[in-house]
Amino acid sequence: MENAIIIRYCEIHLKGKNRGFFEKLLKENIKKSLKDFEFTFTPMHSRYLIENFNESDYDLIIDKLHKIPGIHTYSRALVVESNIEKIFEAACVLCEGKVATFKVVTNRADKTFSPNSMETSMLLGARLLDKFGNNLTVDVKNPEFTVYVDIREDGKTFVYTELVHCISGMPVGSAGKGLLLVSGGIDSPVAGYMMAKRGMKIDCLHFHSYPYTGEAAKEKVIELTRKIGEYNGGINLWVISFTHIQEAIHQYCPEEFMITLMRRFMMRIAERLAKQQNDQAIITGESLGQVASQTIESITSSNSVVTMPVLRPLIAFDKIDIIDISRKIDTYETSILPYEDCCTVFLPKFPAIKPNLERVIKAESRLDVEGLIDEAFKNVEKYEL
Question: Which has the closest alpha carbon to 328: 163, 162, 178, 165?
Answer: 165
Phi then psi for 164, rounded to 5 degrees?
Answer: -95, 125
Question: Looking at residue 257, what DSSP letter applies?
Answer: G
Q: What is the pLDDT of residue 86?
A: 97
Q: How far apart are CA 348 and CA 259, in angstroms?
A: 8
pLDDT digit string, tens, across residues 204-232: 999 998 888 888 899 999 999 999 999 99
Residue 252 — very low, low, confident or very high, per pLDDT cuts 50/70/90?
very high
Look up the pTM and report it. Answer: 0.92
CA separation, residue 270 to residues 244, 273, 303, 308, 342 (Å): 17, 5, 12, 10, 15
Q: Are 282 and 271 in contact (CB under 8 A)?
A: yes
Q: How far apart are CA 174 and CA 171, in angstroms?
A: 6
pLDDT digit string, tens, across residues 50-70: 999 999 999 999 999 999 999
Q: Average per-residue pLDDT in the chain?
A: 95
Residue 27 — very low, low, confident or very high, per pLDDT cuts 50/70/90?
very high
Q: Are 264 and 301 in contact (CB under 8 A)?
A: yes
What type of residue is 365?
S
Q: What is the pLDDT of residue 211?
A: 84
pLDDT at 380 exceeding the cut of 90 = yes
Question: Looking at residue 343, what DSSP letter applies?
Answer: G
Q: How far apart are CA 105 and CA 95, in angstroms?
A: 14
Q: Are 264 and 365 in contact (CB under 8 A)?
A: no
Residue 34 — very low, low, confident or very high, per pLDDT cuts 50/70/90?
very high
Terminal Cα-to-Cα distance of the chain (whole angstroms): 40
3 class by beta-carbon count within 10 Å (0-12 exposed, 13-18 middle, 19+ buried):
middle
Q: What is the pLDDT of residue 345?
A: 66
Is the preceding peptide bond at 115 cis, omega within 30 degrees of 0? yes
Residues with Cβ within 8 Å of 271's Cβ and at least 6 positions away in sequence, in order, are: 282, 306, 307, 308
| Upper half-sphere CA count for residue 104 (Cβ side, 13 Å) | 27
pLDDT at 292 exceeding the cut of 80 = no
